[in-house]
């Protein structure tokens, strides 16, 4: 049994992570920290864990003590900035770290600082790897000590697009590198547990509202990953996020011009060669569209695409549970692969 | 007091129309027909009207008798096809007719038949006018006998786009005529009162799902209207409709490349010159986004736009209540203007 | 046109009140105050009023100036305590005042102070009247200067029960005075616009939760009114309030033992003799149950009852929109009657 | 690994059962039948199982063939009546059967037939046992061949009440045997997957509505179980079921007069002595109330109680997930105990 710890577990992704780890067959949850909840039983803060918290209580967040202890792997479920501080203590001590924040998702420091402000541990960027398990080449498993788990919107966008941008432009290209438009609608848990008027039940029920247009922080990792995978040049996308009246789930609809001569079969072939045999990416037949409700509580991306003969665009739709494949489930999947557990352990 | 009748009032738009007409200060609701509900009090079929239905009952739908009667104006709240049949009886008898179906929205017969199948009254197309009150030149008020009220998605798309396509391309153009992408999310009442598994509460709660990709029937009127207003050539758009877990409301997000040299100020100036003084189009400052919940129960379109300097696109967001400005409220607004009532009578 | 003012309009009942008054055919909304929103246009704070706020802005709350001005009637949409302070200035100046808070709902000062703490204007209690328009004898229209509009839960409970407690016990009695159990489920707007974790969308969706058991403040007015109407002795009820995942609406289910020999016909006869011809109380046939969604946005109470032959209980179900008949609509109805307007003016 | 089969898995409880069994560490799902879905992959009918259905397809429902096969244990997820027919074939063949329908929940044939009509296998009643795992004495594990899993409402009512009725009346009694009132609010999945107007999203959102008053079928098992546990005489309760706008969950609020001299501590002592160490019954402190959202997806009952000094009633609140502890999860729990697996296997 692997000993794991969770640093900062009082938000929605943290709660989901605790549920997954408490039920995981290969790990022992050895420490859960939260500055604001020290001393409380897990299930007092996360009532859905009643009867399942194995008597654990929240402890304080002493990074040095954790670094000196016997826990093998830590999940950081902290705001960006705070995550970097913990990574600075834990990584040099030889701990494996999986960070759910944005701190190590962006390889380019300038890009990070443009979107997030000053980085608190730039010296660790070289040791960190952004890992989308189905897309990142497997060498990360031995090379990295610090893994950045992708964000929720990026997972819903990169999973369908990366196999296509790898074949963008040029002969045999599938999609255009330009005029990519991604509209995403997120359940309200995507905003975190913020006690602001904006997130009250009465305000968000029966409401769809765009937000963060032109400047959402997830643009940084979406575009960096697309560009790295496209093999040269910067890919710019139009990313339009919205809130929708659901607790969980992200639905993303991407419009992208087909490359000249590209067909829907070529698109599906690219997807299938990338995802064949991967349990957490499900490709639906063209013409059938995925549904956020079908992935709630799962670690899956469901996706499909259609070619619009009128516009010569591909229209791609994908769905994820923002708290599972978009956050905690993906972090557990990363752990499973990193520690040579079955990829689906604790996730199905 | 104008005597009005409603033909076919048992669906969601019909219910909303009854509410509006029963409370309207200038009309008397003289007849309400429904093949399936004959003899029942209105409030038995529409319980939200309890105490307000003035003792009215549903009557049968004898088109000839209605044509011979003393009702001045009819609203057709029927499926397409059925609406044309009634129009054939009522219009020649000198009745004013406002049709909420698609039968007379499309000027081009071939386009209609491509999307909807055989037209049942093509001879009336020349007498019919598609009226989006804020955009259609006012001559319709004296020339037409048969008005097609626009669809819900088209209202949310045409209201922001028509002032811009009138200035598309050429010197001083605001937007590109190409790469227009409209993503719309509709509340479930947009599907009508269909007793299919797809529309059950349990299926649609916590669910966003795209549907009708590449072939939604509203494309016909959206593109015809955009093209007519663009002054030449056919404008093709990518229209991606979705269902979202709300009872009512449509949120539309449009991405369109800015014309070379166009600015957000030029876009707002075009909007303001079109909509200045119009009570039912509210233009929000750039950077503020509209919210479906803010227009529920109102006859408004709320909309705003932003220029994305990274992509050189405008991102436009608009919201309507699909049952009011997207259907029944707009029909009442049309009646108000047609009959020289105050435009807002019964609507605020 | 009657000049009216609204004191403290930034909460959910205040917003609803503004909508009703702005559309009311007999009044001019002359002042709207809010300490926190001074200087802002109404529609900036209440976006659903865009285009309908007649250019009004929130003003400060100077009670003395308001008392000296030319406004005829004030609605107080303030927390308890604050309402009493304004009443102290406005009532002696001859203004008509309709208070939506609890400050003047309880005739018995000790009861008030037990539930709400110190009363800030006990000297006004003698001039105040609790008015449930369908139940309070009409002399209030000439005698009172200060009207307390009932609370939302009490409206849903008193409307069905008062006609029955008037006939409780004794020969010909309909219901027992004991073992009355009222379970109520309220939409989240019933909590007001509180930015607390408890009221976040993610917390309240898919959630029903009892709260305030044994001590909800509305008990004070429910029991006082039941007791006054029962003609002697104190009636105690079990009142169990809950939150349910809706924006609006209260559904109340009351179980009460039938008096010996009482029949469902006697119950219905008592209801009909009380409510015959009253537009805002709709009595459904026994066996049909009311639905919160059918009264959303209306000023109605819908209710019905059934006799359970197994238990010898009546089971009574009633529904209201907590923001309309449970608050602002009822206040407007009171104004209508007080000022000899049509009872339904601005409410249908 | 135990070989299990599911008969009739296309409804909501059946879907949930498939999810639980596919992830269960001790069983192999060997057959899934559905008359209407023969030949389809599980995940085509239950899309949330994509990637997890192990290639299983729905097969036909040939009872004789199943009885002759090598499957050890069957779950019947069928309507009442149909379940009895399968039990007639499977039980005599020596198969273990766990029935999720009502067919074998009622020991008294006359009671069954009063509520459900003619029984199709009355000869099996003697071999059947109603098993609420925390309450039924453990001898069922060896004596029975056919287990009736309790209904959803009954689970939410019997779990808190049975320990109290065992101590009803008499010296040391905790609650009255009379004036028991249970109000329950169920998510819409409780109605099953019925394509009726009543269950459409638009009809049920923002809606609470009582139904089945005085005659809900679950009364049969609730009262029979309460009476059996009370040790003599028939206990009659007032049971008022409602639909509430949630996908899942039941919230039950029970009002019952305290026995003379009974205290809240006595009530809690009775609960604790019954449920101490049972993972799926969580007792919350008096004053804290359970929340349906906290048990979604779990096999728990969360419950608490308070004594109302004004009314001398206990008010008890309990919540369950109607599809898990109220149906499929409880059936799996029964299997776990019956087959000597860990009680929580596959359930946490």
Name chain D contacts of C248, Cβ cutoff 8 Å: 206
pLDDT for residue B170: 62
Most B CBs within 10 A among A201, A204, A208, A246, hence the mutation to make, goes to A208
Most A CBs within 10 A among C201, C247, C321, hence the mutation to make, goes to C201
Average pLDDT over residues B207-223: 96
Name chain A contacts of B203, Cβ cutoff 8 Å: 293
Average pLDDT over residues B234-240: 97
β-strands A2-7, A27-33: how paired?
parallel
| B168 pLDDT more than 80 | no
Name chain A contacts of D246, Cβ cutoff 8 Å: none
**Tokens of residue D265, six digits:** 């501590």
Looking at CA atoms only, how far is residue A187 from chain B in angstroms? 8
Task: DSSP letter for C78, please.
Answer: S
pLDDT for residue D171: 66
| Of the candidates D92, D115, D88, the residue with the CA atom closest to the CA atom of residue D102 | D115
List phi, psi (to 5°) of D39.
Answer: 90, -15
| D245 pLDDT more than 70 | yes
| Mean pLDDT for all residues in chain B | 96
Nearest Cβ partner of C210 from D187, D236, D317?
A: D317
pLDDT tens digits, one per residue of A14-68: 999 999 999 999 999 999 999 889 999 999 999 999 999 999 999 998 999 999 9
Locus of tokens 């956020």: A292
Cβ contact D300–A50 (<8 Å): yes
In sequence order, what are the residues at sequence separation of 6 or more whose Cβ sits closer than 8 angstroms to the Cβ of residue D338? D73, D96, D98, D141, D147
Cβ contact A205–C12 (<8 Å): no
Interface confidence, given as ipTM, is: 0.96
Burial of C142 (0-12, 13-18, 19+ CB in 10 A): exposed
Q: Is residue D246 within 8 Å of C208, Cβ to Cβ? A: yes
- Report helix, strand or coil for A272: helix
Name chain C contacts of B282, Cβ cutoff 8 Å: 50-51
Print burial letters for B195-227: b (CB count within 10 Å at least 16), e (below 16).
eeebbbbbbbbbbbbbebbbebbbbbbbbbbbb
pLDDT tens digits, one per residue of B39-84: 999 999 999 999 999 999 999 989 999 999 999 999 999 999 999 9
Subunits close to B (at least 3 CB pairs below 8 A): A, C, D
Looking at CA atoms only, how far is residue B201 from chain A in angstroms? 12
pLDDT tens digits, one per residue of D290-328: 999 999 999 999 999 999 999 999 999 999 999 999 999
**Tokens of residue C154, six digits:** 């009490």
The catalytic residue among C6, C90, C97, C152 is: C152
- H-helix segments, A96-217: 109-116, 140-143, 152-165, 201-204
CA–CA distance from B287 to each of B160, B283, B305, D339 (Å)?
16, 11, 7, 62
- Report helix, strand or coil for D283: strand
Cβ contact B205–D201 (<8 Å): yes
**For residue C32, what is the enclosing H or E element?**
strand C27-33
Q: With a cut of 50, which residues of chain C have pLDDT below it? A: none
Print burial letters for C54-76: b (CB count within 10 Å at least 16), e (below 16).
eebbbbebebeebbeeebbbbbb
pLDDT for residue D168: 63
pLDDT tens digits, one per residue of B253-275: 999 999 999 999 999 999 999 99
The catalytic residue among D22, D98, D152, D334 is: D152
C interface toward B at CB cutoff 8 Å?
22-23, 25, 47-48, 50-52, 279-280, 282, 291, 293-298, 300, 302, 348
In sequence order, what are the residues at sequence separation of 6 or more whose Cβ sits closer than 8 angstroms to the Cβ of residue A305? A160, A264, A267, A268, A271, A286, A314, A315, A316, A317
Locus of tokens 């799926």: D280
| D169 pLDDT more than 70 | no
Name chain D contacts of A293, Cβ cutoff 8 Å: 48
Nearest Cβ partner of D209 from C208, C291, C296?
A: C291
Q: Is residue D227 within 8 Å of D277, Cβ to Cβ? A: no
Nearest Cβ partner of D249 from C208, C248, C309?
A: C208
Q: Is residue A39 within 8 Å of A221, Cβ to Cβ? A: no
Rounded Cα distance, D195 and B198, in Å: 9
Average pLDDT over residues A280-305: 98
Nearest Cβ partner of C306 from D179, D214, D307?
A: D214
List phi, psi (to 5°) of A16.
Answer: -65, -40
Rounded Cα distance, A101 and A116, in Å: 11
B152 labelled catalytic: yes
- Report helix, strand or coil for D303: strand
Locus of tokens 């096969």: D69
pLDDT tens digits, one per residue of B273-312: 999 999 999 999 999 999 999 999 999 999 999 999 999 9
Nearest Cβ partner of D302 from A23, A25, A50?
A: A50
Burial of B329 (0-12, 13-18, 19+ CB in 10 A): buried
* pTM for the whole structure: 0.97
pLDDT tens digits, one per residue of D209-232: 999 999 999 999 999 999 999 988
Own/partner long-range contacts of C125-132 (Cβ < 8 Å, ≥24 apart): C127/C91, C128/C99, C128/C104, C129/C104, C130/C104, C130/C105, C130/C106, C130/C221, C130/C225, C131/C334, C132/C158, C132/C159, C132/C162, C132/C225, C132/C330
pLDDT tens digits, one per residue of B171-180: 679 999 999 9
Size of interface A-C (CB pairs under 8 A): 60
Subunits close to A (at least 3 CB pairs below 8 A): B, C, D
Subunits close to D (at least 3 CB pairs below 8 A): A, B, C
Rounded Cα distance, C164 and A141, in Å: 74
Average pLDDT over residues B302-331: 98
Rounded Cα distance, A324 and C190, in Å: 33
Closest residue on chain A to B209 (Cα): A291
**Tokens of residue C33, six digits:** 């105050």
Angle at CA C302, nearest 5°, toward C301 and C305? 125
**For residue A45, what is the enclosing H or E element?**
helix A42-45
pLDDT tens digits, one per residue of D39-80: 999 999 999 999 999 999 999 989 999 999 999 999 999 999
| Of the candidates D142, D202, D172, the residue with the CA atom closest to the CA atom of residue D267 | D172
What are chain C's domains?
2-149 (3.40.50.720), 153-321 (3.30.360.10)
Average pLDDT over residues B206-211: 98
| D281 pLDDT more than 80 | yes
| Mean pLDDT for all residues in chain D | 96
Average pLDDT over residues A227-250: 95
Cβ contact A51–D296 (<8 Å): no
**Tokens of residue C158, six digits:** 């008193």
Subunits close to C (at least 3 CB pairs below 8 A): A, B, D
Closest residue on chain C to B21 (Cα): C348
| B133 pLDDT more than 70 | yes
**Tokens of residue C288, six digits:** 């049909």
pLDDT for residue B107: 96
| A289 pLDDT more than 90 | yes
Average pLDDT over residues B320-336: 98
Cβ contact D240–C253 (<8 Å): yes
**Tokens of residue A286, six digits:** 């063209």
Would you say the C-alpha torsion A214, A218, A219, A220 has a positive or negative sign?
Answer: positive
């Amino acid at each position: 049994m692997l000993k794991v710890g969770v640093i900062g577990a009082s938000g929605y992704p943290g709660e989901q992570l605790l549920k997954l780890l408490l039920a995981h067959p290969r790990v022992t949850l050895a420490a859960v920290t939260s500055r604001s909840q020290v001393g409380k039983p897990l299930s007092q803060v996360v009532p859905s864990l009643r009867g399942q918290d194995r008597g654990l209580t929240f402890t304080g967040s002493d990074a040095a003590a954790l670094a000196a202890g016997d826990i093998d792997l830590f999940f950081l479920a902290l705001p960006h900035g705070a995550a970097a501080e913990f990574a600075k203590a834990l990584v040099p001590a030889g701990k494996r770290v999986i960070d759910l924040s944005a701190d190590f998702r962006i390889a380019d420091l300038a890009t990070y600082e443009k979107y997030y402000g000053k980085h608190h541990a730039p010296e660790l960027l070289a040791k960190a790897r952004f890992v989308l398990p189905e897309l990142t080449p497997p060498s990360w498993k031995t090379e990295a000590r610090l893994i950045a788990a992708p964000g929720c919107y990026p997972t819903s966008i990169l999973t369908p697009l990366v196999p296509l941008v790898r074949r963008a432009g040029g002969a045999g290209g599938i999609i255009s590198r330009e005029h990519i438009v991604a509209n995403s609608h997120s359940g309200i848990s995507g905003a975190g547990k913020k006690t602001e008027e904006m997130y009250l039940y009465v305000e968000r029920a029966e409401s769809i509202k765009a937000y963060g247009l032109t400047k959402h922080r997830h643009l940084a990792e979406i575009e960096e990953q697309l560009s790295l995978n496209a093999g040269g040049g910067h890919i710019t996308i139009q990313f339009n996020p919205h809130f929708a009246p659901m607790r969980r789930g992200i639905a993303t609809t991407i419009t992208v011009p087909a490359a000249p001569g590209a067909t829907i079969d070529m698109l599906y072939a690219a997807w299938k060669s990338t995802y064949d045999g991967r349990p957490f990416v499900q490709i639906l037949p063209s013409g059938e569209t995925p549904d956020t409700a079908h992935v709630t509580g799962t670690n899956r991306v469901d996706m499909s695409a259609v070619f619009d003969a009128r516009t010569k665009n591909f229209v791609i739709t994908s769905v994820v549970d923002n708290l599972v494949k978009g956050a905690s489930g993906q972090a557990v999947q990363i752990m499973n692969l990193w520690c040579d557990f079955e990829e689906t352990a604790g996730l199905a």
